[in-house]
């Protein structure tokens, strides 16, 4: 189980690496005209509000944040710094986009078999809600472990026609955005641009 101190250290190291490496690759998409969609200040404000809500709702409980890597890493890191409620952090990896950015493939979940969530108060954290396939699949698998409670938390909810029918929306979300490809604040294109402090749309 990852301690708060260790997580904060890893957060600093990973964010530093992401910032140093962003943009150092030949792109097949023109990123010269990135459009700022959500500023660093707006993200910070929403996170503070969200942390207060979570602290109120989970009073006298201990939370397990189940973070979906890699996109949710920076978001989770900033969120837990505002959380006063006792918590622990676990990480899993889901993949469906691959290294070609916009192309989807078969969803795989890695690491969940190593995490004990029975009788825990679990919040699944992810960066973006598009079709809903990733979150729905993870929530179903986590539910099999019989947690005491289970909720979902998403940074961005896309307003898209790709959204699957008959599945629940996230319990918590910070922003609803247009159906555009976005990078920054943990979201990437071919593993780059995660270190941008704001969230940018790509035309």
Question: What amino acid positions are annotated as catalytic residues?
Answer: 130
CA angle 102, 106, 109 (to 5 degrees): 105
Q: Which helix (H) or strand (E) holds 60?
A: none
Diameter of the chain by CA atoms?
A: 50
**Which residues lie across from 112 on neighbouring strands?**
none
Going by C-alpha positions, the residue among 153, 141, 140, 136 that lies closest to residue 65 is 153
Q: Is the CA virtual torsion 18, 24, 30, 31 positive or negative?
A: positive
Rg (CA), the chain: 16
Contact between 199 and 156 (Cβ < 8 Å): yes
């Amino acid at each position: 189980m990852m301690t708060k101190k260790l997580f904060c250290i890893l957060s600093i190291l990973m964010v530093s690496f992401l910032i140093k490496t962003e943009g150092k690759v030949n792109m097949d998409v023109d990123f010269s005209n990135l459009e700022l969609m959500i500023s660093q200040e707006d993200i910070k404000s929403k996170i503070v509000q969200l942390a207060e809500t979570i602290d109120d709702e989970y009073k006298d409980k201990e939370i397990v944040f189940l973070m979906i890597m890699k996109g949710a890493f920076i978001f989770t890191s900033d969120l837990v710094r505002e959380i006063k409620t006792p918590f622990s952090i676990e990480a899993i990896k889901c993949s469906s986009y691959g290294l070609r950015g916009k192309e989807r493939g078969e969803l795989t979940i890695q690491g969940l078999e190593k995490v004990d969530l029975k009788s825990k108060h679990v919040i699944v954290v992810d960066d973006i809600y598009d079709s809903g396939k990733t979150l729905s699949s993870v929530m179903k698998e986590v539910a099999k472990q019989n947690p005491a409670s289970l909720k979902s938390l998403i940074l961005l909810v896309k307003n898209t026609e790709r959204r699957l029918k008959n599945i629940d929306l996230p319990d918590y979300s910070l922003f609803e955005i247009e159906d555009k490809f976005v990078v920054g604040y943990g979201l990437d294109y071919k593993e780059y641009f995660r270190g941008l402090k704001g969230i940018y749309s790509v035309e």
